[in-house]
């Protein structure tokens, strides 16, 4: 009889041990959460205190105020990420916690994201300060435009920097980054070809920012649309149109295509109002009315005004009125004001000067006769013409025969005496008429040089030199017109005029006067 001995089975773990492990794990998680929450609350409270102090200090310093305002979101996210990281590392620093590396990696990524957002928000501080200067009434300048562009550039830089920092936290990404850097030439070539449009707009935005063709607040005309530059970015430009629309154009539109900038140097502009009127328009009265209208409105800045006839046709003439204004808005209102008032004045005071088309017709009386009477009338007219021709030919033949048979007395030079006598009488009469005409012209010249009569002096009106402000010249007559004349003179004529003036001054200085010569 044999006995078989089997090993004694190990006892199963008691429920108390499993419960103890679960409780320890739960206690560790709760400790981490509690420590993280405490750190987050402490950091947020400290951030609020610092923000309060910065707001008080920012009342005197605008830079501090804008930094505090832009740090609210990014600073809060950074405090949350930093508090969670501190709580995690403080709790598990002496314990071997499963998943430690994964959680630490996630907290690091969260910290990088929070700091990146904070830096991107701080990039807008410079733009905020320049916008405050613009709202305070200062003119748009290069600083506003460059601040906007630098804001976008810094945002892109910190965004790319944050993305690369997050990617480098992965070991696989670091290995891939090395291979990417090794083949950077080919990749950059492919990326440049693929993103040619984007890169062109980015470089155009940088060119606009530093070459200063346009600035924020400039009034421009692009593609037939008038508006104000509202925003300039790296890739596009926003134009606020007059009807509250927004026109968004790529930046390269302003570097490759022409456009109008009405406020590049200053806001003063000249406007043109053209009217088609009849030839009988009284130009003197028309200019006086323009003077009156300009003196009654505050839209005219008082620099320039002129009325000229610039074109004419068979039926009408074109009257061109030029007036100046302080800005484009006042100029638009001034042009509409002048056009409306002048049309009303022509209708009331000079209705005969309204444009019209003249058609002149000849009055023709038609006589309708029967066919038989027309034929009889035609034959009678032909018979009368034939009879007249026959009579004239017979008379001419008889006169020729008589002249041949009767020889007229002639002068020694062969000219008939009667013809010679008639010629001399005709020459004397022509001489008398010439002398009479010359005498009349001399009398008229003497009468023009006589002093005016009493009636003429009574009818004479003396006009003041300041009575008329609207002239008939656009490039001379006023200081502003003389400035415009210099623009169209050309460099060669300007140099000749300057040389002539200097020669005249030298001659006046070196030539002695008559009194000095006598002495």
pLDDT in tens, 3-48: 444 444 455 555 555 544 544 555 466 777 777 788 888 888 888 8
Cα separation, 430 vs 114, whole angstroms: 115
pLDDT of residue 88: 77
**328 close to 260: Cβ distance less than 8 angstroms:** no
CATH of domain 140-174+196-263: 2.30.30.60
DSSP 8-state class, residue 310: E
Backbone phi, psi, residue 230, to 5°: -100, -35
Q: Is residue 316 helix, strand or coil?
A: coil
pLDDT of residue 37: 80
Tokens for 24?
Answer: 């320890």
pLDDT of residue 19: 47
Domain boundaries, the chain: 16-122, 140-174+196-263, 269-353
**Whether the domain at 140-174+196-263 and the domain at 269-353 fall into the same CATH topology:** no
CA dihedral (238, 241, 244, 249) positive or negative: negative
Among 156, 169, 56, 61, smallest CA distance to 112 is for: 169
Instruction: Tokens 């003389």: give the residue.
Output: 482
Does residue 270 carry a pLDDT above 50?
yes
Residue 206's CB: how many other CB atoms inside 10 A? 17
Does residue 422 carry a pLDDT above 50?
yes
Tokens for 15?
Answer: 């429920």
Does residue 513 carry a pLDDT above 90?
no
pLDDT of residue 93: 65
- E strand or H helix at 442: helix 417-448
Does residue 493 carry a pLDDT above 90?
no
- E strand or H helix at 278: none
What value does the mean pLDDT take over residues 454-480? 54
Highest mean pLDDT among 201-205, 343-347, 362-366: 343-347
Q: Is residue 239 helix, strand or coil?
A: strand
Cα separation, 457 vs 388, whole angstroms: 66
What is the model's pTM? 0.51
Average confidence score pLDDT of the chain:
74
Confidence of residue 245 (pLDDT cuts 50, 70, 90): very high
pLDDT of residue 466: 42
Which residues, other chains included, contact 369 with Cβ-Cβ below 8 Å and sequence gap of 6+? 377
Cα separation, 390 vs 385, whole angstroms: 9
Tokens for 435?
Answer: 């002398």
**167 close to 177: Cβ distance less than 8 angstroms:** yes
The topology (CATH level 3) of 269-353 is Alpha-Beta Plaits (3.30.70)
pLDDT of residue 459: 46
Q: Which of 199-213, 262-276, 370-384 has the lowest mean pLDDT?
A: 370-384
pLDDT of residue 371: 60
Does residue 237 carry a pLDDT above 70?
yes
Which residues, other chains included, contact 107 with Cβ-Cβ below 8 Å and sequence gap of 6+? 81, 84, 85, 88
Does residue 264 carry a pLDDT above 80?
yes
Per cent of the chain over pLDDT 90 is 17
Does residue 500 carry a pLDDT above 80?
no
CA dihedral (388, 389, 391, 396) positive or negative: positive
Which residues, other chains included, contact 482 with Cβ-Cβ below 8 Å and sequence gap of 6+? 475, 476
Cα separation, 143 vs 131, whole angstroms: 10
Tokens for 464?
Answer: 């003041």
Cα separation, 30 vs 23, whole angstroms: 10
Highest mean pLDDT among 66-75, 346-355, 488-497: 346-355
Residue range 160-214, pLDDT digits in tens: 888 888 888 887 777 776 666 656 566 666 666 656 677 788 888 888 877 878 8
Which residues, other chains included, contact 383 with Cβ-Cβ below 8 Å and sequence gap of 6+? none
Q: Which of 81-85, 313-317, 329-333 has the lowest mean pLDDT?
A: 81-85
Q: Which of 82-96, 167-181, 296-310, 491-505 has the lowest mean pLDDT?
A: 491-505
The helices-and-strands tally (H runs, E runs) of the chain is 17, 8
Residue range 77-129, pLDDT digits in tens: 888 888 888 877 777 766 666 666 777 888 888 888 888 888 888 888 877 77
DSSP 8-state class, residue 353: G
């Amino acid at each position: 009889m044999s006995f078989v001995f089997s090993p004694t089975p190990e006892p199963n773990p008691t429920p108390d041990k499993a419960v103890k492990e679960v409780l320890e794990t739960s206690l560790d998680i709760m400790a981490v959460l509690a420590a993280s929450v405490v750190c987050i609350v402490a950091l947020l409270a400290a951030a609020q205190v610092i923000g309060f102090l910065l707001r008080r200090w920012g009342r005197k310093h605008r830079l501090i105020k804008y930094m505090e305002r832009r740090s609210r979101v990014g600073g809060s996210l950074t405090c949350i990420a930093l508090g969670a990281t501190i709580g995690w590392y403080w709790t598990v620093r002496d314990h071997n916690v499963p998943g430690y590396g994964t959680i630490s990696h996630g907290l690091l990524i969260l910290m990088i994201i929070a700091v990146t957002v904070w830096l991107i928000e701080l990039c807008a501080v410079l733009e905020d300060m320049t916008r405050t200067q613009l709202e305070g009434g200062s003119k748009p300048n290069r600083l506003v435009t460059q601040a906007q562009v630098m804001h976008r550039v810094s945002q892109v830089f910190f965004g790319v920097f944050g993305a690369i920092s997050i990617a480098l936290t992965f070991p696989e990404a670091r290995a891939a980054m090395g291979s990417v850097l090794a083949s950077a030439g080919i990749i950059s070539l492919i990326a440049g070809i693929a993103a040619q449009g984007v890169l062109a707009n980015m470089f155009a935005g940088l060119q606009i920012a530093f070459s200063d063709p346009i600035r924020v607040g400039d009034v421009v005309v692009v593609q037939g649309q008038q508006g104000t530059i509202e925003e300039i970015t790296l890739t596009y430009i926003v134009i606020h149109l007059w009807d509250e629309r927004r026109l968004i154009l790529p930046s390269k539109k302003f570097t490759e295509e022409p456009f109008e900038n009405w406020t590049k140097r200053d806001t003063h502009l000249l406007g043109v109002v053209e009217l088609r009127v009849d030839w009988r328009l009284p130009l003197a009265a028309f200019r006086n009315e323009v003077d009156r209208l300009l003196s009654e409105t505050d839209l005219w800045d008082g620099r320039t005004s002129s009325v000229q006839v610039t074109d004419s046709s068979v039926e009408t003439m074109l009257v061109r009125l030029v007036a100046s204004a302080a800005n484009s808005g006042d100029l638009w209102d001034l042009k509409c004001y002048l056009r409306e008032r002048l049309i009303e004045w022509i209708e009331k005071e000079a209705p005969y000067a309204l444009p019209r088309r003249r058609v002149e017709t000849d009055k023709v009386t038609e006589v309708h006769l029967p066919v038989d009477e027309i034929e009889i009338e035609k034959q009678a007219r032909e018979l009368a013409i034939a009879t007249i021709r026959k009579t004239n030919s017979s008379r001419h033949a008889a006169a020729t025969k008589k002249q041949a048979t009767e020889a007229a007395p002639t002068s020694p030079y062969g000219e008939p005496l009667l013809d010679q006598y008639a010629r001399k009488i005709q020459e004397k009469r022509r001489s008398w008429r010439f002398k009479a005409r010359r005498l009349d012209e001399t009398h008229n010249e003497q009468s023009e040089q006589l002093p005016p009569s009493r009636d003429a002096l009574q009818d004479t009106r003396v006009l003041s030199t300041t009575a008329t402000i609207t002239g008939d010249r656009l490039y001379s007559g006023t200081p502003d017109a003389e400035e415009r004349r210099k623009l169209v003179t050309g460099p060669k004529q300007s140099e000749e005029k300057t040389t002539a003036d200097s020669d005249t001054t030298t001659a006046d200085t070196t030539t002695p006067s008559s009194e000095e010569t006598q002495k």
